[in-house]
Amino acid sequence: VHTYQCSARNLAAAKASGLPYIKTPVYAFNRLWLLTHPLWIKVLRQLPHDWVDPWLSFTKPDFAWEKLYDPFEKFGCDCFLIVSPGGNTLVVADPEAISQITRRRDDFPKPVHFYSGIDQFGKNVVSAEGGYWRHHRKITSPPFNERNNHMVWEESLAQGQSMMSGWLSPNDTATGPLKDIAAQAMRLSLHVISCSGFGVRLQWPHEQAESDIPEGHSLSYKDALSTLLENLIVVMLTPKWFLRNSPFKLQKVAHTSYVEWGKYMKEMYTEKRSEIESGESSGGMDLMGALVKGAGVTAKSSDDDSNHDPEKASETTKTQLFTEDEILGNAFVFILAGHETAANTIHFSILLLAMHWGSQMHLQDDLDAVLGDKSVSEWDYDHDMPKLFGNMCGAVMCEQLRLIPPVVGIPKSTLKGLPQGLTLGGKQITVPGGCTITLDTVALHRNPKYWPHTSREDLCEFRPERWLLDSSKSNTNTDDNTYAEEEDLDFDGPDKRPDTAASLFRPPKSAYVPFSEGHRSCLGRRFAQVEILAVLAVIFKTWSVELDVSDFMSDEEVETASEEQKREAWNKADARARDLLRNGMMTIITIQMRKDKVPMRFVKRGHERFKFG
Ligand code: HEM
């Protein structure tokens, strides 16, 4: 009876909204459904098609990736509702709606209960809402400054070189097949955030005999962090008392890494605190140093005097803006938000370039034009980075983030009992109260109304050249202020520069939101852009990437093959990559290729064997 009543109520709200809708008997965000849906979907697929189509496919957590812009086209509207007994979900690929939703922070809050699992070490800017979020944002924004970006640049160049030197010695002209470049990109990105986030420089296996385990620890710093990130879902889903006492290996490993990483973070925190207190601090260039400094925490204020003198204690609580847990919670969330997202962009950029030789060559020409014969140690953040941002390197990054934004559905909501109006094309619609909202970035970024394209297929293709402006035409969207919009926050927000350089195509406002938009937009946007551009530049200045064809043609056969035979083998490798990009992706925190990997090889420029695509 309850289910029927909820269903009827949600349907009535959908009918009153003025939006198209589709009914499903299952709420896709139900926890039990999230965990068990593959099983149910398999069973339900056995039923006659007209019983389960089309609603069943909208109950998959990854339906946005599966369907892209199609449902919006069918509905003839860039917003639609999914109605179910458990709740209504508004799916949005309309820039006008996104602009209003992201700006009206109180009317459309983030459904932070989705994020409770990330509070493993303390509350943080990602999982907070309302006034409490504002407090977090105020203290966590300043560390993302140009000093830190310089550090990101230097470290990304160094780590990019180290990654390549692990695969190739200086005289090699090619690597063998590299099966899992995604994992290597993840490692690289973890190293970058470790240095720029905590001031701890990590090395690659070929640079270091074995990782040291300091006294008092059972795992090295690097193993504690990487094992925790690998097992994060286990840590998030298992109650702490069970994790602590579990007889199962998986949970034991997860628990040890959780405890160990907590210890490492505490040690770093204590170190930064005493550095600041003794005046040794370099000014907090890394994120944690800046966080500790900005939070007004010093060893003196938190320990000594306050234990003895209650008056002083109350004084210190006034000046200390974050508790220790909040500092650790935010430091951890920087790693979480920052390493996988940037790693995905690096991995998919490499893959898409391997599939598009023409674009790769164009990228290399532009890198030569900007960087000439300078060695990497001479590359300069202030001089070179803006140029990379404004040429094919920036275009590759923007196009990759258009096609495969790491966050495919940015969650928002309306509060229970508080429906909200939106104006779309001069028409008023009503978003029901208690509604979950998904800003569908993959559909938005393929919305034909807002992107230059030659055909519908072209919108789904990797064509970075679409971002390059014809020099005879000027940018139709030149007003930087539409991007650097006032955020009504009386503190330094994150970098307000636009998502793309002035010399590149500027999509209409809110039509391109890989980093979200408005008040809760990504704090690490510039950090990520610097990292991605630096790594792409290091790799492609010297190397080319190719799809590995060894499953279809051996190295010896390649030596003697005709162009036509080589193309045939390459086409098979390309078809495999395309299939995995369409059907092998799944979201856990971010979208990644999870079914299998696409093997690739790097070759020294000039030694390419496959110049196709
Ligand atoms: C390509 C790389 C990245 C992409 C595409 C990306 C995307 C996003 C998106 C879509 C959001 C909004 C999420 C939501 O509202 O639920 C977000 C928030 C956030 N991101 Fe990123 N991000 C990237 C890199 C980074 C990096 C490198 C860091 C830090 C080192 C970072 C830190 C954050 C933080 C702290 C927030 C929460 C902001 C708030 O709620 O006020 N991100 N990011």
Residue 341 CA, ligand 1 centroid: distance in Å: 8
pLDDT tens readout for residues 339-371: 999 999 999 999 999 999 999 999 999 999 999
Q: Are 459 and 69 in contact (CB under 8 A)?
A: yes
Strand partners, 89: 82, 436
Mean of pLDDT values over 212-225? 93
Segment 387-393 mean pLDDT: 96
What mean pLDDT comes out for the span 39-55? 96
- Give the pLDDT mean for 472-488: 51
Atom of ligand 1 nearest to the CA of 516: 10
Measured N-to-C along each axis, helices 381-390 and 392-403 cross at an angle, to the nearest 10 degrees, of 60
* Distance from the alpha carbon of residue 520 to the mean position of ligand 1, in angstroms: 9
Element (H, E) at 544: strand 543-547
pTM above the 0.95 mark?
no
Ligand 1: does its nearest atom lie under 6 Å from the Cβ of 441? no
> For position 277, what pLDDT does the model report?
83
* pLDDT the model gives residue 400: 98
How many angstroms separate the CA atoms of 137 and 125, rounded? 6
Report residue 54: phi and psi, to 5°: -95, 0
- What is the reported pLDDT for 392? 97
- Quote the pLDDT of residue 483: 40
Kindly tell me if the per-residue pLDDT of 387 is higher than 80: yes
Establish whether residue 354 lines the binding site of ligand 1, counting it when its CB lies within 6 angstroms of any ligand atom: no
Q: Is residue 458 pLDDT above 90, yes or no?
A: yes
CA–centroid distance, 100 to ligand 1, in Å, is: 20
How much is the mean pLDDT over the chain?
91
Q: Is 515 in the pocket of ligand 1 (CB under 6 A)?
A: yes
513 CA → ligand 1 middle, Å: 11
185-214 pLDDT, tens digit per residue, is 999 999 999 999 999 999 999 997 666 799
What is the predicted pLDDT for the residue at 476?
60
Q: Is the ipTM of this complex over 0.90?
A: yes
What is the distance between the alpha carbons of residues 290 and 270, in angstroms, rounded to a whole number? 13
Per-residue pLDDT tens over the stretch 492-534: 555 667 777 778 999 999 999 999 999 999 999 999 999 999 9
Q: Distances from the Cα of 452 to the Cαs of 316, 438, 503, in angstroms?
A: 56, 24, 16
Residue 284 has pLDDT above 60, yes or no: no
Torsion of CA 203, 209, 215, 217, to 10 degrees: 70
**Taking 90 as the threshold, does the pLDDT of residue 33 lie above it?**
yes
| CA 242 and chain centroid, separation | 31
* pLDDT at residue number 486: 42
The mean per-residue pLDDT over the stretch 216-243 comes to 94
pLDDT tens per residue, range 144-178: 999 999 999 999 999 999 999 999 888 899 999 99
Choice from 110, 341, 345, 398 to test ligand 1 binding pocket (greatest atom count within 8 A of CB): 341
CA distance 514 to 391: 19
Answer whether 445 contacts ligand 1 (Cβ < 6 A): no
The mean pLDDT of 250-274, rounded to a whole number, is 95
Q: What is the structure's pLDDT at 212?
A: 79
Instruction: Tell whether ligand 1 has an atom less than 6 A from the beta carbon of residue 88.
Output: no
Whether the per-residue pLDDT at 246 is higher than 90: the answer is: yes
Is the CB of 337 within 6 Å of ligand 1?
yes
Worst-scoring range by mean pLDDT, 328-337, 441-450, 492-501? 492-501
Question: Is residue 522 in contact with ligand 1, taking CB distance under 6 Å?
Answer: yes
Measured CA to CA in angstroms, residue 58 lies from 54, 91, 400 at distances of 7, 11, 25
Sign of CA dihedral 37, 183, 357, 342: positive
- pLDDT at residue 481 is higher than 50: no
Q: Is the CB of 516 under 6 A from ligand 1?
A: yes
**Which residues are within 8 A (CB) of 430 and not within 5 positions of it... i.e. 6 or more apart?**
16, 17, 18, 419, 420, 421, 422
Peptide bond before residue 54 is cis, with ω within 30 degrees of 0:
yes
Q: Is the pLDDT of residue 3 over 80?
A: yes
Indicate if ligand 1 lies below 6 Å from the C-beta of 514: yes
Residue 338 CA, ligand 1 centroid: distance in Å: 7
Any ligand 1 atom below 6 A from CB of 144: no
**Quick check: helix, strand or coil at residue 428?**
strand
Does 303 score more than 50 pLDDT? no
d(CA 603, ligand 1 centre) in Å: 33
d(CA 517, ligand 1 centre) in Å: 10
pLDDT single digits (tens) 116-140 = 899 999 999 999 999 999 999 999 9
Coil, helix or strand at residue 547: strand
Annotated binding-site residue? 6: no
CB distance 580 to 150 below 8 Å: no
Whether the predicted pLDDT of 307 surpasses 50: no
pLDDT tens-digit map of 398-440? 999 999 999 999 999 999 999 999 999 999 999 999 999 999 9
